[in-house]
């Protein structure tokens, strides 16, 4: 009995000593990085550095956190750095490296797994929050723009529209997404079938590498330039700016949204869409959302067809009559508007409220969970009722299907790290949100169930998923300091297919010691 008590006491004492040591170690390391930042010749000052003792620390940390799942009870950065210049980013990288800290890079804070501002490892880390680097410079005569990584896609849309009503950019639907993360992983929205991914339209970039150098496309080389356009953010350095090609949009585009319950033929319409959505005119984008709704006789599924057409109403009606007459779209269902107003339409903002794009109107904070899949063969019509039943098991769920085809089928899968090109019909985003932390386990369990249930109907070998919808259920780097290429393949092949090996080889060349490391960072593969 006395021996057991002694063992328990010693174990407890060791734990206390370990905690004290860790706390002292972290404090010492914090002092080290703060001293380094204050002494750097690049001029980083206290207005951009927020240790945990700073009164603004919490507000800075939470300023762009959209997902409440990671706002509490998760490891916090020792220091947050909000650089105002590229030289400040250089200092942050070099000082974190010198102090032995890991780095998390945040531009918009939308990442599903919270990896840009938290960590599942018990190691000290700093956040480089680049939201102050948000300048957008448009050259309308050359149809190009330089945009910094801390800008949102809404800000890019806004400033492009201020220069020309006939220019746009093919990025995502949510305007508060940070461009740094969005472009790093691919980026698709209503123009994806006409012009491909946002990353497909990047023509230059500026990156701060592991040695603190600022490199452009020429100096970084084509291998690294290839890797950062779809290889996921944070693995290769800090991309501070992107040069993109702008694309042509007509004076007027046409939008519509049609809601159909199962009793109104929603299931048959979805079946038709999944067989033709990728084959429609590349000027026509129709995405589908599946959501449970309550009706007079109980619960059912609502199928929502949400569309943007690069042209006038009469041309859209003519196109749909020949390709998708079952949808029954009439002129009264459609609205003509400018391309920039279509951005507001898809984001559920009032027409003409452009200031919300420019001013980065913050998202409503809620608990969020997501996963993704790709479909290469239509889900059998006779199995759709099973899918609808699974959707109705969670009242906070929505399945969003974005069509591929068009330009996406023309681009080789090795052109960028994003491999989901020819032969992919559509992407599925499984999404859910809720307000109370007590409901978290219930909703997360549902997400895992439907993901498992969908296994027979989605892509295989590998089961593909989208890197911008990070999913730690697929696996993570278990070792807080390193990981092997073979271990990382369990999630890497799902995101990048055969491109994963090339990404790991690029990583070995530009960051051989794996300084830019996180739960699903690209590991170095040294051959």
Q: Which residues are part of the catalytic machinery?
A: 469
- Cβ count within 10 A of residue 104: 22
Segment holding 256, helix H or strand E: strand 253-261
CA 450 to chain centre: 21
Judged by DSSP in three states, 210 sits in: coil
CA 107 to chain centre: 11
Per the CB < 8 A criterion, the answer to whether 500 and 493 are in contact is yes
CA angle 54, 60, 66 (to 5 degrees): 150
Cα separation, 30 vs 253, in Å, equals: 53
Cα separation, 398 vs 431, in Å, equals: 5
Per the CB < 8 A criterion, the answer to whether 34 and 96 are in contact is no
For residue 103, which of 131, 78, 67 has the smallest C-alpha distance?
Answer: 78
Segment holding 433, helix H or strand E: strand 426-434
Judged by DSSP in three states, 351 sits in: coil
The torsion of the CA quartet 247, 248, 249, 251, rounded to 10 degrees, works out to 140
Q: What is the DSSP letter of 72?
A: S
Per the CB < 8 A criterion, the answer to whether 425 and 405 are in contact is yes
Cis? peptide before 34, omega within 30° of 0: no
The two tokens of residue 373 are 């899949």
């Amino acid at each position: 009995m006395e021996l057991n008590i002694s063992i328990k006491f010693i174990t407890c004492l060791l734990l206390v000593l370990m905690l004290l040591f860790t706390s002292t170690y972290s404090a010492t390391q914090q002092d080290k990085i703060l001293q380094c930042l204050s002494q750097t010749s690049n001029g980083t000052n206290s207005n951009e550095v927020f240790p945990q003792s700073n009164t603004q620390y919490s507000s800075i940390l939470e300023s762009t956190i959209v997902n409440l799942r990671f706002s509490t009870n998760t490891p916090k950065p020792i220091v947050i750095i909000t650089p105002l210049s590229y030289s400040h980013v250089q200092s942050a990288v070099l000082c974190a490296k010198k102090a032995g800290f890991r780095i998390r890079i945040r531009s918009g804070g939308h990442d599903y797994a919270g990896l840009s501002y938290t960590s599942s490892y018990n190691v000290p880390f700093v956040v480089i929050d680049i939201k102050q680097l948000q300048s957008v410079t448009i050259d309308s005569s050359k149809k190009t723009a330089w945009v910094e990584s801390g800008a949102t896609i809404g800000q890019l849309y806004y400033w492009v529209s201020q220069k020309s009503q006939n220019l746009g950019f093919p990025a995502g639907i949510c305007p508060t997404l940070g461009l740094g993360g969005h472009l790093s992983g691919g980026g698709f929205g209503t123009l994806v079938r006409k012009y491909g991914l946002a990353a497909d339209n990047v023509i230059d970039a500026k990156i701060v590498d592991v040695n603190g150098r600022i490199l452009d496309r020429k100096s970084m080389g084509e291998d690294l330039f290839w890797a950062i356009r779809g290889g996921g953010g944070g693995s290769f350095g800090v991309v501070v700016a992107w040069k993109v090609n702008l694309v042509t949009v007509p004076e007027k585009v046409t939008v519509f949204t049609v809601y159909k319950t199962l009793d109104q033929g929603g299931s048959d319409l979805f079946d038709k869409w999944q067989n033709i959505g990728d084959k429609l005119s590349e000027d026509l984008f129709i995405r589908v959302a599946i959501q449970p709704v309550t009706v007079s006789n109980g619960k059912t599924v609502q199928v929502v067809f949400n569309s943007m057409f690069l042209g006038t109403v009469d041309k859209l009606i003519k196109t749909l009559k020949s390709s998708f007459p079952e949808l029954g779209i009439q002129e009264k269902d459609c609205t003509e508007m400018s391309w920039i107003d279509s951005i507001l339409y898809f984001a559920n903002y009032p027409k003409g409220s452009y200031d919300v794009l420019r001013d980065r109107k913050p998202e409503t904070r809620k608990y969020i969970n997501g996963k993704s899949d790709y479909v290469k063969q239509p889900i059998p019509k006779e199995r759709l009722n099973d899918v609808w039943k699974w959707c109705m098991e969670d009242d906070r769920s929505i399945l969003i299907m974005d069509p591929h085809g068009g330009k996406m089928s023309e681009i080789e899968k090795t052109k960028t790290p994003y491999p989901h090109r020819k032969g992919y019909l559509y992407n599925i985003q499984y999404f859910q949100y809720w307000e109370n932390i007590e409901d978290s386990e219930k909703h997360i369990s549902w997400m895992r169930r439907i993901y498992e249930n969908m296994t027979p109907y989605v892509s295989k070998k590998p089961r593909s998923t989208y890197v911008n919808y990070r999913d730690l259920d697929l696996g993570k780097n278990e070792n807080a300091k390193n990981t092997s290429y073979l271990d990382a393949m369990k999630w890497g092949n799902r995101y990048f297919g055969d491109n994963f090996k090339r990404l790991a080889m690029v990583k070995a060349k530009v960051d051989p010691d794996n300084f830019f490391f996180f739960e699903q960072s690209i590991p170095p593969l040294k051959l």
